[in-house]
Amino acid sequence: MSYIKQHLHEQMEKQEDLEFMKEQFILKQIESWDRDLLEQFAFDSMFKYYEDYSEKQFKDMVINDYGIKEMAQLMQRIKVKYNEMPKDAS
């Protein structure tokens, strides 16, 4: 095997070993978490993922991935939220 091929092969093995080590570490950490921590992590991760979506991008994603019914339910929750807010006593 040429020096270059050997070097590339070693680098690939190192990368595969590093990825395997990361996977094992992550799995071990997750195994130690309780349900509340898992839910909080999932929520925070998803909120961060959607953080940069515009209103149109977010609505389009919901409709395309989950359907118009899900979008309608979200819109209904917004109406309920505003109906439950205290009115200003002006």
Question: Model confidence at 90, in pLDDT bands (50, 70, 90)?
Answer: very low
CA dist 59 and 83 (Å) reads 22
Question: Model confidence at 1, in pLDDT bands (50, 70, 90)?
Answer: low
Question: Model confidence at 88, in pLDDT bands (50, 70, 90)?
Answer: low
Each residue of 42-78: pLDDT tens digit? Answer: 999 999 999 999 999 999 999 999 999 999 999 999 9
Mean pLDDT of 29-43: 95
- Flag whether the pTM goes above 0.75: no
CA dist 25 and 86 (Å) reads 48
In 3-state terms, the chain is what percent helix, strand and coil (to 5)? 85, 0, 15
